[in-house]
Structure formats: structure tokens, C-alpha cells
Structure 1
Amino acid sequence: MPKLLRICFIIAFFFAFTNSHINIAPVLGADESDVVTHGFLACGKTTYIVGESGTKTWSYPHSTRDGYVLDSGEIVLTLSKSKKHPGGAVVAIATDGTETVLWKGSQAEVNSAHPTDSGTLVITEAGNNPRLVEIDRDGNVLVEFSLQCQKPNFHMQTRMARKLSDGTYLVPHLLDFAVHQYDAEGNVLNKIDTTVPGDTERKIHSWPFTAIRHHDGHTLVCCTNGNRVVDFDESGEIAWQLTNEDLPGPWLQDPCGSQLLPNGNIVITSYAGGRADVNAPKLIEVNQEKEVVWTYSDGQKVGIHHFQILTTNGQNLAGPILK
């Protein structure tokens, strides 16, 4: 059993919960060697880890917005606002189950927390002063700047902010229909327009939620209400796009999170994928030819806000986590 899954079983005592309605659907190729299986962390209405067999091995009793399982086995979670955490929070769960609060939200919401290679955390807060902060593990603020986005609608200010290898920050702004790249002083270095080309009336249907910077300056963006996943090239032009016309059914329903796998395949979470059909996939994996490789359904109307693929066919995922 891979080390990561052993850790998940060790901390599985947290909460027992039902496995009904779970459907892992690998897509078969010419022979059984082509079968794809994944283990993953799910963040959203409920928070849990699923092994490759479809069995839930760990859960956490709080709604979450973002999450990472680190190489050490520690789990970093961005908590939704609640009575206990009215401004949201970021917590770390150690392998022995010990929980540490790393950040208490001071405004309306904490929307993401990205653990960087240097051990810091990049966090976004929504509210009257939408901002990005980078902190060390003791909570000391190393970088702080205001986000240049609309202010009236707190919930629609931003989502999955990530620090890039060059020290800049990639931040999607939903109601601004744009992904901004900031320097450490908060200057906007460039902007990707996520509106549908030539369709000004449907701008509201292209809210950017997750933005992933990858090969040669490309940026893969999940556009929630637009039900589209778009790969923009370095100049901001569309290089690749996935819509429901490319899939067996209307499976993209509020595509919030995505992850680019080492083999170039893309996994997408369809937050509201079960509203019309509870058997519709919550997670969809496609290759560059837009062929469906793997799906996961949970029988719920809504649920997975973001996720992290942890293992594939029994092996821990290699390389940087691009999600």
C-alpha cells in the first residue's frame, strides 16, 4: 500500500460515514492494463478522502473550499465560514489527527490556501478589503496586498489563488471575468479575459474559478456558470476548450476545480453535476483529445468544490500539484 494511503487509513478513525451512491467508473481500453483508478481528496459540502476502490478512508466534519495533502501526510484545509469560524479559516491536520489553526479569517470568507514549495501559505480573503496574504507556518504575514476586483459582492470576488514559480500570484476574479497575475506589491502584471468571445450578453456565464499556469505560459481556467474549461495561450487566446458538446452528456455543471495530471490529462469537478441526474459525474477526467478516461459519481445533487488527485493505479502522483 502506498505511504499516502497508509496515512489516510491511520487517521480514518476521525469519522465513519456511509459509502452509498459512490460510483467509480474507470474507462476500459483495449485490455485491463488501460484501466485508470484514482484516490483523491474531496473538498466541498463534505470533506473526505476516497481510495482507488471507491471506499472512503477519511473524513473531516466541516465544509471546505480548498485542500492539499502534503508529502508528509499533513492535510491543509481551507474552511468555509461557520459559527466557529465566522470569517473562515485555514487548518492543518497532522498524521496523528492533531488539528492546528494556521489562519483565522478576518473578513467574510477565506477562499483558498496554497502551500508553497518553501513552506509558506498563500491565502485569499473576501470582504470589504479583498486581499491576498502569504504567511509562514507561525502565522507571520510575509506578503500582503489588496486584490483589484469588484467589492460589492464578497462571495464572487475570488477563488483559487496560487503562487507561481517566478514568485508572482495567479488569482481568478469571478465577477470581473478575469484572471489577474500580481507581483508581490499587488501590481497587475497581466490579465486573461474569460468572457465568451463576441458574446457580451453572456459575460456573467464565464466566471473564472480555478486557474492553472502550465507549459509555456498556458493557463487552464475553469469557468463555472459558462460550463467551459479553457486553456489560454501566453497571449490570452484560446488554445483548447472543453464544453458539454464534447462530452456524452451535460456533465459540466458549475465546473469549479480542475487538476492537470503529469500525463497531460485534466480532471474537472462539476459542483452541481447531480442536480439534473444524481448519477452524473462529480469528477471527470479527459485527455487532450477530449476522450473521457475516468469518472466519479456520489449520488448527491451538489458537493465537490475542489479536490486533489492523490494516486493513480496504486502510485503516488509525481511532480508538482497543478490544481
Structure 2
Amino acid sequence: MKPQLVLVTSLLCFTANMVVAQDVTHSFLACGQKTYIMGADGEASWTYPSATRDGYVLDDGTIILTLNKSKRHRGGAVVRIAPDGKETLIWKGTQSEVNSAHPTADGTFVITEAGDNPRLLEISSTGKVILEFPLACQKKNHHMQTRMARKLADGTYLAPHLFDFAVFHYSPEGEVLGKLDTTVPGDSDHEIHTWPFTAIRHGEGQTLVCCTHGNRVIDFDSDGNVVWTLTNEDLPGKWLQDPCGAQLLPNGNLVITSYAGGRADVNAPKLFEVTRDKEVVWTYSDGQKVGIHNFQILTTNGEEIAGPVLK
């Protein structure tokens, strides 16, 4: 079972015409400059002593973390933390960075490496390479190559490529099957080249994308048409400041992390939940200038999240 940890937050639900008091509860894993599980008392009930880029809590309580590059792991790494606290190295990065590690239904992990030869790999639980192919992204800026790569139910892969301004869809052989262009339309002199960071496939082939540069979240239909957009104009304040990660909840609501939301105001939300109608129903602040890179909501109102983790 997942850790039964709940943070109770009393807040206001903002709509265009009214303000309604509302209580919502969540517990969550936070990955970023600080790595922790937020507990019921508002304090971290579990912490990890390294910065992280991605993370998952599995059904049995095992935690999978993608570690930032450091003196310990020059090219980043992926580690497993067992419920008893034992740590196991799954993958040691071989290039500049490891940027994601997606646990699949088959017990494998999909990871990406940034560097001179950016690549996607699917590895076994012991780190054996099952599949790999080069990523068709730019090579000049390693850090801005890719982020949250995910394996889809049909065995294909989504990989957001920041400086290519598009989410790429790959076959298992590495063939580019399609792209979702995240450039905001307009005159050529006024186009906004937004950087895709997280891409979530959901519903009937829809893809929800967090774009850090441009501060917006976009939902594409199966034909690549934009059907929903969230910007700061839709929110009570400029809460979208480098929105890196997101999670789509079973009730259709979306939780978003605003990595740089505290630079102007340390009390600005680092996580917030919105409905499809763009009503804010929950917020979390940590008092830091920057912080949560990615996350996983573990429980809502004391109940575990049902179904696959869409983040």
C-alpha cells in the first residue's frame, strides 16, 4: 500500500463571480531541490538527501527517484528506495543528465539521457537495457533536450523536447510518428516558442502538455488541435511560473507545479489544483523561491489515487 499521509489545507475556491470556502486533502511526493513526502502535520514525513528530477511511489511503497547530477553521480542516476529504506542503484547516467524514469506496467523503467548522444532507454528492474534509440532533438544544449518521457499503453513513447518546441511521439524502433508543436500561433515576429516539459496522454488520445517558457498548460486532441489552455489570465494571480510537472486526477482535475512561483512571492502556490472549468480548489506553498520540479499526488481526501498515475 502507498503511504497513508495526508496534508489538510483549508483554502478558498476562486471562480469568476464568487469565493467559496472549501477543504481539500492531499498527500504527495515532491521532487526538486528538496525531495520529500508531505505528511499530515504539514511537515515532511520522509526526506531524501539529494535533488531529484522525477519520482514515483509504487503500490508497495517503493520509491523510484531520478537524481540530479552531482559529485556522487556525475551523469545523474535512477535509484530504488525500498519500504525498509534500503537503496538500490538501478541506472547510473553515462552522459550529462538523466531526466526521467517512468515505471511501466511490465516492471521496466523508461529513462532518458541528455548529452552529445541523447537517447531513450527502457531498462529492466536490474538495469539491463531492453530497448534504446536516439532522440531526434537538438544536441547543442544538453540541459534543454528532453524531460518527462513516458511509455504509452500501445508500446510507443512520448518525449517532450524543450528547445525543439514540440512533444515527439516515437515508435519502439525510434521512428518519429508525429509531433505536437507547442509554439503559440501568431505573426512570425510574435510567436512564443514555449518549452514542453511534461506530456500526459489521456482520454481518447488527448495529450496535456506543461510548457515552462510561456507559462501555460495546453491540451491537444487526438488530431493535434488545441482544445484547452490554462494561462495566468485564468488564475487569481500569476501562479504559472515555470510550470514543470502536472498530474491528471481521476476526477478530471489537474494539479500543476509552479517551479519558480516563489521568486516574486515566496508564499505563492508551488502546487495547485484546478478543475476543467479553471476553478482553483487546492493550493500548497512551501515558502521557497524555487522548489518542486515534479511530484505525485498519493491520496485525495484520505483515499489512494485509483488507476494509473497520469503525470
TM-score, with length taken from structure 2: 0.95
SS at match of 2:120: strand
The yes-or-no answer on 1:58 pairing with 2:56 is no
Distance in 1 between residues matched to 2:74 and 2:217, nearest whole Å: 32
SS at match of 2:204: helix
CA shift for structure 1 position 35:
2.2
Provide closer, same or farther for how the CA distance between residues 98 and 246 of structure 1 changes in structure 2, counting only shifts above 3 A.
same
Structure 2: segments with no counterpart, 5+ residues: none
The yes-or-no answer on 1:182 pairing with 2:182 is no
Match of 2:208 among 215, 220, 227: 220
| Alignment correspondent of 1:41 | 29
Runs of 4+ in structure 1 deviating by more than 2 angstroms, as ranges, are 3-6, 22-32, 51-55, 199-205
Residue pairs, 1:124-273, within 5 angstroms:
124-201=112-189, 205-273=193-261
Match of 1:75 among 41, 44, 63: 63
Provide closer, same or farther for how the CA distance between residues 194 and 132 of structure 1 changes in structure 2, counting only shifts above 3 A.
same
Distance in 2 between residues matched to 1:143 and 1:199, nearest whole Å: 41
Deviations, residues 270-308 of structure 1 (Å, cap 9, x unaligned): 000000001100001000000001000001000100000
Provide closer, same or farther for how the CA distance between residues 205 and 45 of structure 1 changes in structure 2, counting only shifts above 3 A.
farther
By percentage of residues, which structure has more strand?
2
CA shift for structure 1 position 200:
3.7
Provide closer, same or farther for how the CA distance between residues 57 and 294 of structure 1 changes in structure 2, counting only shifts above 3 A.
same
Provide closer, same or farther for how the CA distance between residues 144 and 295 of structure 1 changes in structure 2, counting only shifts above 3 A.
same
| Alignment correspondent of 1:292 | 280
CA shift for structure 1 position 236:
1.1
Q: Percent same amino acid among aligned pairs?
A: 68
| Alignment correspondent of 1:5 | 3
| Alignment correspondent of 1:277 | 265
Provide closer, same or farther for how the CA distance between residues 254 and 134 of structure 1 changes in structure 2, counting only shifts above 3 A.
same
Distance in 1 between residues matched to 2:135 and 2:20, nearest whole Å: 50
TM-score, with length taken from structure 1: 0.91
Distance in 2 between residues matched to 1:52 and 1:224, nearest whole Å: 30
Provide closer, same or farther for how the CA distance between residues 28 and 168 of structure 1 changes in structure 2, counting only shifts above 3 A.
same
Please say if residues 210 and 257 of structure 1, whose CA atoms lie closer than 8 Å, have aligned partners that are also in contact: yes
Q: Which amino acid aligns with 1:254?
A: D
Provide closer, same or farther for how the CA distance between residues 194 and 28 of structure 1 changes in structure 2, counting only shifts above 3 A.
closer
Match of 1:90 among 78, 83, 92: 78
By percentage of residues, which structure has more helix?
1
CA shift for structure 1 position 197:
1.1
Please say if residues 52 and 313 of structure 1, whose CA atoms lie closer than 8 Å, have aligned partners that are also in contact: no
Aligned length: 307
SS at match of 1:155: helix
SS at match of 1:5: coil
Distance in 2 between residues matched to 1:204 and 1:157, nearest whole Å: 18
Distance in 2 between residues matched to 1:248 and 1:73, nearest whole Å: 36
CA shift for structure 1 position 139:
1.2
CA shift for structure 1 position 220:
0.2
CA shift for structure 1 position 54:
2.2
Q: Which amino acid aligns with 2:151?
A: K
* Higher mean C-alpha displacement, 46-55 vs 272-281: 46-55
Structure 1: segments with no counterpart, 5+ residues: 10-21
